């Protein structure tokens, strides 16, 4: 039981920002349903051994490129007769990993660089932002392809290449928001009261810049999934016999003349996943937009 004074105090304070964001998200049916779909995909993919009906690497000459419904292969088989459903599940592990990890690493590195640049300003800002301008001079796919092409294929190199690709936009966005927050009065007040730079960043700035940066990062995941699958599609990412959506698409490229439906399936998975991340990011953005 709250005291009367407590109730008045809470009412006067109003709901906190994050409570309001959560309330807005809970009534946004579209965002909720794509988040649910995404969670389902993640669970299915992580628990691939449970949901897979066949071993994803066992091939069969007799059962090549069969349409959905062929002898227990409910999504059909690929160009060497492997079960497509099981390969899509196992392939999703790499596709999601290559979609999420680069953005995560870029968020850590780019976010700190952007915070440092935005908070310190002056020379440090110039050094960081001008070196980012150099990375910005490469169109993103070209940069990823160049790095992967030079270092060779493999999942580690794919993640590295995409991380480098995503650092500049994250640095730019975090520098912009940090610069905006830095000039606000409460930061000035904290500095005037003798707080050290690190604790100002930790307690006053981070909370205020993390939201927009995170929203931006979720929209990058959708691009990252498309690019990572694209690298595998070019033969620069995950190497056979491992399954990965982009690689499966590449292997099935010739099969399009035989069984177009089966050949299109892995791409549909890339599309659905990337679309979910995009819609989720849009939903988060409008829920967190204070002007609305």
Partner 1 sequence: MWYFIARRVLYAIPILLGVSLMVFLLLKLVPGDAADIMIPPEAPREVAAMIRARFGLDQPVHIQYLRWLQSMATGNFGTSIFTNQPVASELFSALSNTFMIAIPAVILGFSCGVLLGTLAALNNGTWLDKLFSSVAIAGVSLPHYWVGMVLVAIFAVVHNVLPGQGMGPEGFPASWEQIKHLVLPVVTLSLIPMGVISRLVRANVLEILSMEFVSALSAKGLRTRQVLLHIMKNATPSALALMGLQFGYLLGGSILVETVFNWPGSGSLLNLAIFRRDIPVLSAIILVLATIFVVINILVDVLQALIDPRIRR
Binding residues vs partner 1 (CB under 8 A): 130-131, 133-135, 137-142, 145-147, 149-152, 222, 226, 229-230, 233-236, 246, 249, 253, 256-257, 260, 263-264, 267-268, 270-271, 274-275, 277-279, 282
Which residues, listed in sequence order, are joined to residue 70 by a DSSP beta bridge?
73
Report the alpha-carbon distance of residue 181 to residue 190 in Å, rounded: 13
Smaller CB separation from partner 1, 205 or 247: 247
Smaller CB separation from partner 1, 208 or 239: 239
Smaller CB separation from partner 1, 140 or 178: 140
Residue 252 CB, shortest distance to partner 1, in Å, is: 8
- Element holding 15 (H helix, E strand): none
Smaller CB separation from partner 1, 146 or 200: 146
How many Cβ atoms from other residues are within 10 Å of residue 233's Cβ? Answer: 23
Residue 33 CB, shortest distance to partner 1, in Å, is: 14
Helical spans, DSSP H, in the chain: 4-13, 17-27, 29-46, 48-51, 84-120, 122-136, 140-151, 155-182, 185-192, 197-200, 206-233, 245-251, 260-288
Residue 212 CB, shortest distance to partner 1, in Å, is: 16
Residue 235 CB, shortest distance to partner 1, in Å, is: 7
How many Cβ atoms from other residues are within 10 Å of residue 250's Cβ? Answer: 19
Torsion, Cα 198 199 202 205, to 10 degrees, reads -90
Smaller CB separation from partner 1, 77 or 140: 140
Residue 191 CB, shortest distance to partner 1, in Å, is: 28
Tell me the CA end-to-end span of the chain in Å, nearest whole number: 34
Smaller CB separation from partner 1, 159 or 201: 159
Which residues, listed in sequence order, are joined to residue 166 by a DSSP beta bridge?
none
Residue 201 CB, shortest distance to partner 1, in Å, is: 28
């Amino acid at each position: 039981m709250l005291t009367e004074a407590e109730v008045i105090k809470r009412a006067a304070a109003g709901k906190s920002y994050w409570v309001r964001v959560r309330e807005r998200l809970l009534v946004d049916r579209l965002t909720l349903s794509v988040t649910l779909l995404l969670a389902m995909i993640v669970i299915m993919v992580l628990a691939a051994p449970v949901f897979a009906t066949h071993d994803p690497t066992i091939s069969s000459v007799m059962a090549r490129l069969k349409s959905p419904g062929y002898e227990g292969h409910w999504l059909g088989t690929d160009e060497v007769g492997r079960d497509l459903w099981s390969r899509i599940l196992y392939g999703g592990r790499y596709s999601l990993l290559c979609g999420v990890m680069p953005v995560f690493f870029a968020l850590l590195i780019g976010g700190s660089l952007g915070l440092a640049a935005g908070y310190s300003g002056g020379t440090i800002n110039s050094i960081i932002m001008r070196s980012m301008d150099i990375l910005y001079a490469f169109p993103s796919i070209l940069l990823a392809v160049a790095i992967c092409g030079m270092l060779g294929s493999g999942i580690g190199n794919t993640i590295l290449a995409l991380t480098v690709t995503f650092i500049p936009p994250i640095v730019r966005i975090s520098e912009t928001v940090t610069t905006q927050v830095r000039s606000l009065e409460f930061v000035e007040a904290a500095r005037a009261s003798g707080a050290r730079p690190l604790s100002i960043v930790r307690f006053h700035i981070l909370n205020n810049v993390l939201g927009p940066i995170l929203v931006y990062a979720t929209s990058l995941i959708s691009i990252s999934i498309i690019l990572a699958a694209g690298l595998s599609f070019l033969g620069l990412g995950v190497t056979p016999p491992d399954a990965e959506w982009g690689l499966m698409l590449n292997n099935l490229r010739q099969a399009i003349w035989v069984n177009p439906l089966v050949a299109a399936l892995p791409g549909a998975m890339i599309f659905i996943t990337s679309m979910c991340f995009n819609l989720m990011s849009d939903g988060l953005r409008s829920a967190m937009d204070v002007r609305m």
